[in-house]
Chains A and B, each alone.
Chain A
Amino acid sequence: MDLRNTWDQWPDVNGRFGEFGGRYVAETLMPLILELEAEYRKAKEDPAFKEQMDDLWTHYVGRPSPLYFAERMTEHFGGAKIYFKRDELNHTGAHKINNCLGQVLLAMRMGKTRIIAETGAGQHGVATATICARFGLKCVVFMGETDVERQKPNVFRMRLLGAEIVPVSSGTGTLKDAMNEALRDWVTNVEDTFYCIGTAAGPHPYPELVRDFQSIIGKEARAQILEREGRLPDVVMACIGGGSNAIGLFHPFLEDEGVRMLGVEAAGHGIETGEHAAALNGGKPGILHGNKTYLLQTDDGQIVDAHSISAGLDYPGIGPEHAFLRDSGRAEYLSCTDKEALEAFQLCTRLEGIIPALEPSHAIARVGEVAKELGPDGLIVLNMCGRGDKDVFSVAKALGVDM
C-alpha cells in the first residue's frame, strides 16, 4: 500500500487505522458513539464551533504555546539544535486541556449535562474539572485508589474545582480500572452523561477526535519552526503513554517525508523485567477499552498491569494510531526507564530552568542520543507536554529526599 500523502484518510469509515482501532464496546454504548461521531462531523464543519474553540484556546488556555530554543541543553549534548514545544505552559499545566475543551464543547452541543472522566496522575482529571467548572457542568472523575493516595494535591485541586472523585478499588485499582469504572458508569447513565476520554484511545471516534484536538500542538510547532529556522525539523519527539500529546505533535508532520517521528515509551524498571508500560515495545495486539491496539497481556489474553514512575504513562495500552504508525514504519518508538527519566528530569531543570513533568522527562532522556546522531546541523522539536510541579513529591521520594 502506498501510504504517502494518505495519512489524513485514517481512520477509515469503520474507525480503523489499518487493522487497529475500531469500536469494541458493549451494545449499550453503540448508539452513543455513533451519535457522537455524527455530532463531531457536524461540529467540524461548523464555523461557530471552531470560533468558540479558538477563542477559548487563546484567552483561556493561553495558546499558542511558545517554541523555545533549549540553548544550554543543545550545548550540553553538542549535537542538533533542540527546541521545546512548551505545552506545559497551558492553563492547568499540560496538553490535556486542549482535548478536554474540545470534548466538553461537543458534550454541550449534544445536550449532555454530566461529564465523566478517568485519570491516572490527575492531569486529565484536573483539566476536565477545570473546563466543567468554567461551563457549570457536573463532573465525576474516576481514579484508581492507589493514584488517589499518590496524587493528593491533584485530588484536592479537582475537589476545589467542584468535581466528585470516585476512588476505584475494583480490579487492581489503577488507571485501567478507573477506565473500566468510567465505562460502567457510562453504560448506566447513557442519557445525560458524556465520557471525556483523556487520551487518543478508546472506541472510534475518540482516537480521531482527541488527535484532532491535540493536533493544535503540531500545527503551531510546524509554523513556528518554519518561522524560526526556515525549515522543517529532522526529528519530532514526544513521550507516549496513551499517546495523545505525541499524536498531536506528529500528525501535522506526517506528510512531511523528511521528518522522523520518535515516540518514547516508559520502560519502568526495564522492559526485560516485565515491569514497564511499553505497549509497543513489549506488548502484543489485542482488544481493550473499545479499540484494537498493542497491549501488555499474557498469552491467555489477560491484561497485565503497567508500571512506570510516571503515573501519566502507567497504562497497559496505547492509542491505535500509534500502533498503526509503528507497524507501517512511519514512526519509531524507543523507551526509557524510570531511572533515566529521573536523571533527565534533573538535567532539564538545572540546564533550562524548566521543571518538566516525569512524562516528557522520558522523551528528554532520549534526546541527547538523537541530537548527537543528527550532528550540529540537525533540528529537533520535543514536546514539553507537562510541567513537573505535580511530580516534585514523587521525585523527592525516588531520590531519597525527605521533604
Chain B
Amino acid sequence: MPTSRISDAFARAKGENRAALVTYIMAGDPDLETSFEAMKALRDNGADIIELGAPFTDPMADGASIQKAGLRSLAKGTTLRDTLKLAARFREEDQTTPLILMGYANPVFRMGYGEFASAAAEAGIDGTILVDLPPEEDGELREEYAKHDLSVIRLATPTTHEARMAKVAEGASGFLYFVAVTGVTGAGSADPKAISGNIEMAKRVSGLPVCVGFGVKSGAQAAEMAKIADGVVVGSAFVDHAEKAHESGDFSSAPRGMGVLAQELSSAIKEVAKP
C-alpha cells in the first residue's frame, strides 16, 4: 500500500518524538545518475521522505535556485518519464522511503492523468505535489489517484484562512505541505513564531501531518520548525549542491554535499526531539 509508506515514515519519526525530515532534489540535476546517488545519500543521512522535483520550463512558484535546477535538468533532456524511471530505480533497492513527485500540472496533464497515475504507482511513487493544481482543479486527477492509492499532497500558506483550509484538506492525503512564507521557494527565511498558529490550525482542520517548507535552509532553522511541525522540508539548500557540482564538473560532490547537509539537518531535528 503506497500511502502507508508515508504514514509509516511519520509514525517512525513520532516514535522517536521528532519531526520528519523531508528533502527535495531536482531529478536530472546535474544528471540522472547523480540524482540516483543523491537519493541514496539523503536516505542514508536521515531523510525520512524524498521529494523528487520534476522539471518544468515555467516554475512560477519557485525562486531562482529551483528555477535554474529545472532548466539544467531540461537541458540534459530530462522528461517526466525519466523522473519516473529514476524513482523506479530507487524503489528497486528501497521499499520504505516515501517518494513524492513535486512539480507542475502541465507535464502530468500532457501525459494524461490516468496514464500518469498508473505509471507513477508502478514506479513506486507515493504521492505528488502539483503546485498549480489547487483543490478546485484536481478532481479528475484524484479519481485516477484513488485507483492506485496515490496521495494528493496539497499546499497551504499563510494566506489560507480557516474556511479555506477546510477546502484544502478536502480529499488531501499523506501530509499537508505548509508554505512558511508568502513567496517563492528559497526566498527569505521563515519565522516560526509568525506561523505557529497557522500550523496548529492546519493540523486541527486537516487531521494530517503538517510539514513546513520554503525558506528553511540551516540546521538551526530546521530545529525551530521541528518544534511546531510534524515535518520539515528543505529544498533549495540541497539544490544548491547540485548547482555547485554542475559548475565544477565534479558531479560526485553533489551527493556528498547533500549527505552532509541532510546529516546536519537530521541531527538538529533530533536534538529538539519533543518530550
Asked if A and B bind, the verdict is: yes
A: residues with CB less than 8 A from B are: 14, 22-28, 30-32, 170-171, 176-177, 179-180, 183-184, 187-191, 284, 286-290, 292, 295, 297, 299-303
Check: B80 CB closer than 8 A to any chain A CB: yes
Check: B79 CB closer than 8 A to any chain A CB: yes
Q: 16 A-B residue contacts at CB 8 Å?
A: A24-B132, A24-B137, A25-B132, A26-B134, A26-B155, A28-B61, A28-B157, A28-B158, A30-B134, A171-B71, A183-B60, A184-B184, A188-B183, A287-B104, A297-B110, A300-B81
Min CB–CB distance B34 → chain A (angstroms): 21
Closest B residue by C-beta to A34: B164
Bound complex: CA A299 to CA B62 (Å): 23
Check: B32 CB closer than 8 A to any chain A CB: no
Check: B161 CB closer than 8 A to any chain A CB: yes
Asked whether, in the complex, the Cβ of B159 is within 8 Å of the Cβ of A287, the reply is: no
Asked whether, in the complex, the Cβ of A299 is within 8 Å of the Cβ of B110, the reply is: yes
B: residues with CB less than 8 A from A are: 56-64, 67, 71, 74, 79-81, 104-111, 131-134, 136-137, 154-161, 164, 168, 179, 182-184, 187
Min CB–CB distance A17 → chain B (angstroms): 14
Asked whether, in the complex, the Cβ of B134 is within 8 Å of the Cβ of A27, the reply is: yes
Asked whether, in the complex, the Cβ of A28 is within 8 Å of the Cβ of B179, the reply is: yes
In the bound complex, residues from chain A placing their C-beta under 8 Å from that of B168 are 27
Asked whether, in the complex, the Cβ of B80 is within 8 Å of the Cβ of A27, the reply is: no
Asked whether, in the complex, the Cβ of B134 is within 8 Å of the Cβ of A300, the reply is: no
6 other A-B residue contacts (CB within 8 Å) besides A23-B134, A27-B160, A170-B67: A23-B137, A27-B179, A30-B160, A187-B183, A297-B106, A301-B107
Min CB–CB distance B207 → chain A (angstroms): 18
In the bound complex, residues from chain A placing their C-beta under 8 Å from that of B155 are 26-28
In the bound complex, residues from chain B placing their C-beta under 8 Å from that of A184 are 60-63, 183-184
Closest A residue by C-beta to B181: A188
Asked whether, in the complex, the Cβ of A27 is within 8 Å of the Cβ of B110, the reply is: no
In the bound complex, residues from chain B placing their C-beta under 8 Å from that of A27 are 134, 154-157, 159-160, 168, 179
Asked whether, in the complex, the Cβ of B159 is within 8 Å of the Cβ of A32, the reply is: yes
Asked whether, in the complex, the Cβ of A286 is within 8 Å of the Cβ of B160, the reply is: no
Asked whether, in the complex, the Cβ of A14 is within 8 Å of the Cβ of B136, the reply is: yes
Min CB–CB distance B111 → chain A (angstroms): 7
Min CB–CB distance B83 → chain A (angstroms): 10
With A176-B58, A289-B60, A290-B132 in contact, is A301–B109 under 8 Å at CB? yes
Min CB–CB distance A104 → chain B (angstroms): 22
Sorted nearest first, the 10 A-B pairs with minimum C-beta distance are A301-B110, A301-B107, A188-B183, A28-B157, A301-B106, A27-B155, A300-B79, A183-B60, A287-B105, A26-B61
Min CB–CB distance B215 → chain A (angstroms): 11
In the bound complex, residues from chain A placing their C-beta under 8 Å from that of B71 are 171
Closest A residue by C-beta to B78: A300
Of A28, A170, A179, the most chain B CB neighbours within 10 A belong to: A28
Asked whether, in the complex, the Cβ of A23 is within 8 Å of the Cβ of B136, the reply is: yes
With A23-B137, A26-B60, A188-B184 in contact, is A300–B107 under 8 Å at CB? yes
In the bound complex, residues from chain A placing their C-beta under 8 Å from that of B164 are 30-31
Bound complex: CA A190 to CA B62 (Å): 16
Min CB–CB distance A130 → chain B (angstroms): 27
Other-chain residue from A22, A183, A187 in contact with B137 (beta carbon distance below 8 A): A22
Other-chain residue from A23, A183, A190, A295 in contact with B182 (beta carbon distance below 8 A): A190
Asked whether, in the complex, the Cβ of A25 is within 8 Å of the Cβ of B134, the reply is: yes
Bound complex: CA A289 to CA B71 (Å): 18
Min CB–CB distance A111 → chain B (angstroms): 16
In the bound complex, residues from chain B placing their C-beta under 8 Å from that of A24 are 105, 132-134, 137
Min CB–CB distance B161 → chain A (angstroms): 7
In the bound complex, residues from chain B placing their C-beta under 8 Å from that of A177 are 58
Closest B residue by C-beta to A303: B57
Bound complex: CA A190 to CA B182 (Å): 7
Closest B residue by C-beta to A181: B60
In the bound complex, residues from chain B placing their C-beta under 8 Å from that of A189 are 182
Closest B residue by C-beta to A182: B60
Bound complex: CA A331 to CA B61 (Å): 34
Closest B residue by C-beta to A302: B57
Bound complex: CA A191 to CA B80 (Å): 35
